[in-house]
Each structure stands twice: as structure tokens, then as C-alpha cells.
Structure 1
Amino acid sequence: MAEEAEVVRNFKEWMEKNEKGAIAVAAIHALTTMIKNSGASTIMELEILLKAAQEQLQEMKFEGQRSKVIQLTAACELFARHVTRTALDIGDFEACKQRLIERGMRFAEQADVSRAVIAENARPFIRDGMAILVHGYSNVVCGCLQHAAKSGVRFKVIVTQGQPECVGFKTASTLQEAGIPVDMILDTAVGYVIQEVDMVLTGAAGVCESGGIINKIGTFQVAAIAKEAKKPFCVASESYKFCRLYPLSPTDLPDAEKEPTPRVEQGIKIRQPPSDFTPPSHITLLLTDIGVLTPSAVSDELIKLYY
């Protein structure tokens, strides 16, 4: 068995120490450590090492959480772009290397701050007496709701089970611990309860160039029902999940998000796609750390991030 790459070991060690940490932060930490320990003496050498490290990270398997691949890829691409820009701004290699290390280390701190900023940006949209529908589990979504509750807003949350992993139970438990009333429903009962709902709030595995999102399977169905019922569908997401992807349908998703080989039980093929794509036409607003955005504004923000 081949020895595990150092960048992968650093990634896994960081994730073990930070159970609620973001995949993107772990990736930046691992890449920053690689730069710090590298023997590269030129920017070109560093970029070659960085590209190899990115490929090693992207080859990792995330059992039961394939959507993490999108976050990891977006973080790696953003960091690579940052390396190029820093190299152009700073001619001296050692000074450039030190700047990259410093900014990489600050990324984790900024990631924690970004969730607090999102919660504050979401606060005006969560009001007394509301019923908010949540699909799947998201640290950012839970943070928004916890912040609103701590601010004295009284509301209730309706959580879908989130089959097949049933992540809705984790969401419900997290919110109940914060004193927020929670009801749980079957994924198939969204249409039944939608008239009780004032707003849908979900996270995102990735925010695409079009302003659409890739997220847990069932998100598109929830969004379609919300649109039909004229209920706002809002997405809470960190800006480092903005990715340079432009899917038009689920068949255009990255390989990691596509449907795995169906398992067979009693001669019946059971299909379990992990994610789906929700088009921008079904999304009301994106609540992010760089502001409250309409889906059409995402492409402009991506240009600012990458160019």
C-alpha cells in the first residue's frame, strides 16, 4: 500500500482535531503547511508542488459526504489563484512565501468569523412567529437560527428527515439544544406542510456561477414546492463555497456528486443520488459573509474572488 501523502495526512489530522471544522479550512491549512515545509526556491516550483498537492487532496474519498469534494475543489482553486496573484504583487520569493503562509493561517480565523457574519446578515429575515423549513444539516443554517434565538426572536423550525442518512435528526437535536421548537416531517411531506411555512432556509455544498446551488438530494424538490407556494427560498453559505461550475441539470454535476452504482435488493435496483442542482430561478436570496445576494450577483462576486 502506497504511503499516504503528507498533505493528506495534514488534512485528516486537522479534521480530527476540529470536528465542526469546514473542509475548505482543512484544505487551506494542509496546503499552507505544505508551502511552509517545502524546499521550493522559486514560484514555479511552488506552483508545481501546489498542483500536485491539490490533486492528492481531490483524490480522497469522503464516505457518506461526497458533497465535500466541491468545497475542497473550490478552496484549492481559490488558494491557487491567490498564490499567482501574490507572486505578481511581491517579486521576492521568500517574502511571497511568508505572505502566503500568513494568509493561509488567517483563513481559518476568517472562516469562523464568516459564519458569524452570515448569522448577522440572516437575522433580519428571521422574525417572531415564523415557521422556517430546513432541509438537510448545515452548520451555517444552524448558526443562523441559533443566533436569531439568542437575539430573542421566537420562531419554530420544521425539519425534513433528510433520507437516506437521516441528517435531519442532527439538525433537530442541535436546534432543540438551543431551545428552538422543532417538528420533524418525512421528506415527502414538504408539500403537505408548505402552507404553514413562512420561509425555507437551506445550506449549500456549492454555489455555482449561475447562482444555482448543489446541495443534498431533495433540495430541488423543496425549492420547487416553495416556488409553487410562493414561499421565499433562501440559502445560507460561505463565499468560499462559490465554485466555477455551470451545471444546467443534475447530469452536469461533478463526478463526485453523480449517482453511484445502484445497489440491488430482492432484484430491485435502489438508486440513491447524493445531491441535486437547484437552479437560480428557484432561489430568492443567498445569505453570505460578503452580503445578501440575489442569484444573479454570484457571477460578479466570483470574478472579484478569482480576478
Structure 2
Amino acid sequence: MVLTKTAEDISSMRIRGAGRIARTAAAALQEHGASLDSETLAAFTHEMEEAADLLCGTRPTAVSLPNAVRYVMQGVQKAATLEEAQHALHDRATAFIHDSLAAVEKIAEIAARQIPNDAVIMTHCNSEAAIACIIRAHEQGKVREVYATEVRPRNQGYITIQMLSDAGIPVNFIVDSAARMFMPKVDLVITGTDAVTANGAVVNKIGTAQIALCAHEARKPFIVAAETYKFAPRTILGERIPIEWRPPEEVIGSEKQLPPTVTVKNPAFDVTPPAYVDLIVTEIGAFAPSYAPVVIRDHLGWDIIEFQKDYAFTHHYGE
């Protein structure tokens, strides 16, 4: 079944990146809905809600996933007939995928204006949006070179350096712990994010907060590229983004035996305080972290009462 395989691929990180995960989930819901032979609206809605919960349970930190699922499922939940629900599911999934890709292009366009000529840039992890920003600036003749981190333990940095190299950009590949050593050589840092909270904090791949701290110390701008669907509405209610913990085998391999008193700690994400973030670039503009609640309130348009009724967030964050 496509739905089950998609959930497994997201959980196992065969599908990576918050934007890609969100689009894949939307497509999986669309395909799953088309495969159902439900005879009533109630049955169709129930089966789709089960599918939505399955997808939302795969990665607890990236809010792009429940946000995408919520957007697609709204059409089903508000439908008056089975046929209306089926059409709404298809149309909203298609619209989300289109808008997600368009958002990356717009972010790249806006962020490129923030990059000076002859820039040396550092990036961390493998962010579709951040890489698009760097490539767009390179196309404008602004980028001299990039420092890209290895990104232990899943080594997403290898994907990043391949993408940047394919675009013709000179890249320096460094281990994560060398970020502070090379920070004085760069002009700015650009990363993506898996979630932005209501106070402007950024939840991204583990190691991001340390790099942001180094940038702050060196007085280098730290810029975050984030589609608006990566903002976390329920953080307005005071809820925290759950940090995903990955298996120890990712760090030590499956063959190595550790001493009996040793425990492997493998958090996949960390939280960068808003004080260390200079600019968040979205498809609707670039702004300071303090503007995050305005995006949630005005652009996403989800009031607190609606959040509390929302099944995807209740199930996903209420466990």
C-alpha cells in the first residue's frame, strides 16, 4: 500500500526534508483517497482520518507534516457529500504541492536580495529552501564559496554538497565541530528549519543552535529560510515542539558493542533561540523572529479555538 510505504519511508528518513515530507504526505493522502471504495461520507472521512493519523505519527518534530495533512484534510472534514469530499481532497492536495514548490522559489528570490556580493556562506543540514537561496544568489554572481557541514550522524551534508556542486558552486566540506573555526571566514549563515515557534525560535537539525551561537559570537548574520507552513500554531497555546530521538544505531552502527555503562543519546533536532536568529525569510517576506506570531495569526489564519478542535494537532501533539 502506498500510504503505508510512505509512512515507513518518512519514519526511516528515506524521505527527508520538511518540505519534501509535507508534499509526499499530501500526495499519499491524495492517492489513498482515490483508492478507497467508501460508500458513505462518514466511512470515507473515517478512513482518511486514520490515514492522516498514520502519517502525522511518523516524525514528531517537523510541523510541516501535520500542517500539510491538516490543510488537505480540511476539505474532507467540511464536505457535505462523499463526492464533495473526494474532490476537495484531490484539489487541496494538488494545491498544497504546487504552493509548496512555489514557496521555495519565492523564498530564494527574496533571500538572494539579502546576500552581499562575493559572499562566503555557511549552511547546515540539507534544506531545500536554504539551498535554493544559495543557488539563486550564485546565479546572480554573488556567491564566492560555501562551507557545508557533514551533519552527523545521518550525513545529510553529503546531499547538500552534491546539490551545490551540481550548481557549479565551490564548496568546502567540514565536520560539524569545525563550524566555529571557520565562522570568521564566512559572511553569513543560511539554514532551513523544521519548525518555527510562536516566539520565533527555530527547531532544526541537531547542531544548528551551536552554529547560530558561533555566528552570534562572530557577528555574522544567521538567516533561516522557512515556508510559512513550517510555523507551529499550537506553540501559541504554550505547547512545545517535541524533539525526535533517533535510534543509537545511527551513531554507532549495528555491529559495535558499547561498554555496559554507556548510553547513546541521539536527538535529531535542537532549538535555536530567537536572539540568535537575525532574519526569517518566507514566501511572504523577510522579517525578524518577533514577527512569527503575526504569521501564525494573520497568514495561516488559524485561531486558538480552531487549533483546539483540530484532530491532527490534538492527536499528534497530545500524546
Band of TM-score, shorter chain? 0.7 to 0.9
Question: Aligned residue pairs: how many?
Answer: 291
Q: Give the corresponding residue for 1:271.
A: 265
Would you say 1:41 and 2:40 are equivalent positions?
A: yes
Quick one: percent identity of the two aligned structures? 29
Where do residues 125-144 of structure 1 align in structure 2 (5 Å cutoff)? 125-144=114-133
Post-superposition offset of 1:121: 1.0
Distance 2:183 2:62 in 1: 32
Q: Secondary structure at the match of 1:74?
A: helix
CA contact (8 A) 2:196 2:203 kept: yes
Which ranges of structure 2 fall in alignment gaps of 5 or more residues? 303-319
Q: Give the corresponding residue for 2:316.
A: none
Which ranges of structure 1 fall in alignment gaps of 5 or more residues? 61-65
Q: CA 1:132/1:154 → structure 2, altered by over 3 Å: closer, same or farther?
A: closer
Q: Choose which of 48, 51, 75 in structure 2 pairs with 1:50.
A: 48
Amino acid at match of 1:191: R
Q: Secondary structure at the match of 1:125?
A: coil
Q: Choose which of 278, 300, 309 in structure 2 pairs with 1:305.
A: 300
Would you say 1:258 and 2:245 are equivalent positions?
A: yes
Q: Secondary structure at the match of 1:137?
A: coil
CA contact (8 A) 1:78 1:306 kept: no
Q: Secondary structure at the match of 2:148?
A: strand
CA contact (8 A) 1:128 1:154 kept: yes
Q: CA 1:191/1:13 → structure 2, altered by over 3 Å: closer, same or farther?
A: closer
CA contact (8 A) 2:72 2:92 kept: no
Amino acid at match of 1:305: L
Q: Give the corresponding residue for 1:24.
A: 22
Q: Give the corresponding residue for 1:295.
A: 289
Distance 1:68 1:252 in 2: 10
Post-superposition offset of 1:170: 2.3
Where do residues 90-169 of structure 1 align in structure 2 (5 Å cutoff)? 94-95=83-84, 97-169=86-158
CA contact (8 A) 2:76 2:88 kept: no
Q: Secondary structure at the match of 2:270?
A: strand
Distance 2:273 2:247 in 1: 22
Q: Secondary structure at the match of 2:50?
A: helix
Once the two structures are superposed, residues 256-303 of structure 1 have per-residue CA deviations (whole angstroms, 9 ceiling, x without a partner) of x13656976235333222111112222111111222132222222223
Q: Secondary structure at the match of 1:126?
A: coil
CA contact (8 A) 1:209 1:299 kept: yes
Q: Give the corresponding residue for 1:222.
A: 211
RMSD: 3.5
Q: CA 1:198/1:170 → structure 2, altered by over 3 Å: closer, same or farther?
A: same
Q: CA 1:13/1:283 → structure 2, altered by over 3 Å: closer, same or farther?
A: closer
TM-score normalised to structure 1 length? 0.80
Q: CA 1:10/1:134 → structure 2, altered by over 3 Å: closer, same or farther?
A: closer
Q: Secondary structure at the match of 1:277?
A: strand
CA contact (8 A) 1:202 1:236 kept: yes
Amino acid at match of 2:29: L
Once the two structures are superposed, residues 16-74 of structure 1 have per-residue CA deviations (whole angstroms, 9 ceiling, x without a partner) of xx9997111111122223334442533x55543332111222344xxxxx577543223
Q: Give the corresponding residue for 2:69.
A: 76
Would you say 1:7 and 2:3 are equivalent positions?
A: yes
